[in-house]
Amino acid sequence: MINDKKVLYSGMQATGNLTLGNYLGALKNWLTLNEEYECFFGVMDLHSITVRQDPAEFRKRARNLLALYIAAGLDPVKNCIYYQSHVSAHAELGWILDCFTYMGELNRMTQFKDKSAKHSDNINAGLYTYPVLMAADILLYQADYVPVGKDQQQHLEITRDIAQRFNAIYGDVFTIPEGYYGKKGAKVMSLQDPSKKMSKSDENVNGSIYLMDDVDTVVRKCKRAVTDSDSEVRYSEDKPGVSNLLEIYTACSGKSIEEAEKEFDGKGYGEFKLAVAEAVNSVLEPMHKEFDRIIKDKEYLDGIIKENDDKARYFANKTLRKVRKKVGFTDIPR
């Protein structure tokens, strides 16, 4: 607990381009959390290198992600928005916790199996121990809550197991985190295959709307979105493409599904898809303007990075000092 507030921790990887799904499903819901929680939001660049990165492009993406956090509305004064790689305690605690994690636990991680199948030419140890570094991320800040989707549930469970095991040996060192299940974010699926989530790594670029897509690109992608042979705008299991567009439209316009269905009653898919594109652009255009302002102001962005990195280091090192003492490492002479 910090300043009488419970701590909430989350972050996104500095790979690929953030999608509308990332924004509506997660980032948008982060915006009001600082009123109730002490929030830490990381640019998770240590996690990103389990897949080979082009160094110059990687640096640019990481900076863009941090700027996008702010452009999307995250206040860098009320929230701690920082680079994971700038806080060396992440890597150090990750190694210590490796020694308190069992092979059997890591073997059960389904995400390792999924990623290994996608990157069969680079099945590295980092990919395997990824959940332990994630545990270190969360436990360093004594997080009470972690926003989790279905795909992250396993990682939260192993984090809790590692923390409880460490505490059982050394006493009350780590806060045991719980999943945060606040307001449900919109579940945004691929525009080309509504059975799959909209993804940064989708090979079909028309399947995802990226946060930095311009107005014309958004219109083009929405026009090409998969629907069905019917022409009725209705939310239904047997109409996954139309239902996905309705989710996007209502999340961007603030209308309910019922209001949207009534609005497009008797109208064709062409008019509906154009309205979806307009609703999306009404969200993205202000974000683009703010992003351009932030990314061009090097002094402002560097100042935010330094201030937030310092804050993150302060809280992370506080926990790390306690851990080092518990495991018996020799103090560093001062």
Catalytic site positions: 115, 197, 200
Cα 30 to chain centroid distance, Å, stands at 10
On whether the CB atoms of residues 36 and 2 are closer than 8 A, the answer is no
126-153 burial, b at 16+ Cβ within 10 Å, e below that, comes to ebbbbbbbbbbbbbbbbbbbbbbeeebe
Residues recorded for the chain: 334
d(CA 50, CA 251): 33
What's phi and psi for 145, nearest 5 deg? -135, 145
On whether the CB atoms of residues 162 and 101 are closer than 8 A, the answer is yes
**β pairing state of 80-83 and 6-13:** unpaired
Provide the edge-to-edge strand list for the sheet that holds 6-13: 80-83, 37-44, 6-13, 145-147, 178-180
